[in-house]
Chain A
Amino acid sequence: MIERRKAIAAILQDRPDNLLVISGLGSPTYDVAAAGDVAQNFYLWGAMGGAAAMGLGLALARPDARVLVVTGDGEMLMGMGSLATIAAKAPGNLAMLVIDNEAFGETGGQISHTGKTTNLAAVALACGFRHVATAYKPTDLDAVKQLVLEENGPVLGVVKTSSDELPRVLPERDGHIIRNRFKTALAGQQHGESR
């Protein structure tokens, strides 16, 4: 079984300079922050179901960047229609990473649709995503990392993890601060590139 926090840390280790990350509320936000609290992370603490669509708007606005949306199975299920919306636009620089513990971890670990019948990688493929991959064991993670960081998008990787609850790593919660920090970092990058 894959440990979620180790998996995210491995995927984000030595992250490229042009990588922008949006994390879905709950554990994905804690996991992404634990892997390195950098200004190029936008943490969601609510707006459930919106992470993927937000990634689409950002990817369209910044074709020079690679956009990675890291979210959980529950959040992805709530925004499942946005997989169709993303595929219809087919941004080559957008990748999704679903941390799938087959449970609603924040609310008591109730079994989710992916623990019953739903396969989110298959859903993404059916919507028109270019490539998908699922990691079931630690040795599958390299392939998922390569998919979400390098393959022409839209791509979606699923990491099947245990539903153990890990210590929470709580980054900034004030959305105004998170947004300004992110935009300032982007402006700095753009400035740096133009010189």
Chain B
Amino acid sequence: MKADSFSFAGDDWRAGIFTALKAHGVRQMAYVPDAGHASLINACLADNEISCSVLTTEEEGVAVLAGAELGGQRGVMLMQSSGVGNCVNMFSLLKSCGFPFVTLVTMRGEWGEFNPWQMPMGQATEETFRRSGFIVYRADTGEDAAAMTGSAMRLAYDSKCPVAVLLSQRLIGAKDF
């Protein structure tokens, strides 16, 4: 493991998410960068057992992780709420074939948002997931985020569901400019 080349800050709740991903055998991570995911992305990049793919658009990640599952590997996608709409037709791959899928979504367009352009997709995120057949969790504390990630991995890979864990903007901290 390269994990020793990265360590979370002492108060970073994302460490709990990373521990849950490792405990559930995640071997691939696909991501569109987001400041709210930065330390988690770096932890995955530093881990020899997790292969990370940076995407040009979120829908690629749905297909990448479906391919990973075909080959017998578990995965997770990290994205921001603004990317959820990009995935909608690709979500049909999950439903049509019964692929397990887990995504962790940093929320914009809600609590304390300063950028009006983030509002439409942020407000539509949860409904978009539900209409696409996902089970949706919403984490407002770091403790919940870790527990929900573990549960999401179980629901996805044991019970063959697509699951989204929304990391609320209140938890992440509203962006300031």
Contacts and interface: CB of A to CB of B under 8 A. Distances in A.
20 contacts: A45-B96, A47-B89, A47-B93, A53-B63, A54-B66, A56-B64, A57-B30, A57-B67, A59-B67, A60-B51, A60-B53, A79-B63, A85-B54, A85-B55, A88-B53, A88-B54, A179-B97, A179-B99, A182-B70, A183-B70
Interface of A: 22, 42, 44-62, 65, 79, 81-82, 84-85, 88-89, 175-176, 178-179, 182-183, 186-187, 190
Interface of B: 27-28, 30, 51, 53-57, 59-73, 75, 89-90, 92-93, 96-99
Contacts of A42: 70
Nearest to A83: B56
Majority secondary structure of chain A interface residues (helix, strand, loop or mixed): helix
A88 B31 CA distance: 13
Given A50-B59, A61-B72, A178 B97 contact: yes
A51 to B, nearest CB: 8
A58 B98 contact: no
Given A60-B28, A61-B28, A178-B97, A84 B64 contact: no
Contacts of A65: 71
Given A42-B70, A57-B28, A57-B70, A50 B62 contact: yes
Contacts of B53: 56-57, 60, 85, 88-89
A54 B67 CA distance: 4
A65 B64 CA distance: 16
Contacts of B93: 44, 46-47, 50, 54, 175
Given A53-B55, A55-B67, A62-B71, 11 more contacts: A42-B70, A47-B89, A54-B70, A54-B93, A60-B73, A61-B68, A65-B71, A79-B63, A81-B60, A183-B70, A186-B70
Given A60-B51, A61-B27, A179 B70 contact: yes
Given A57-B28, A88-B54, A49 B75 contact: no
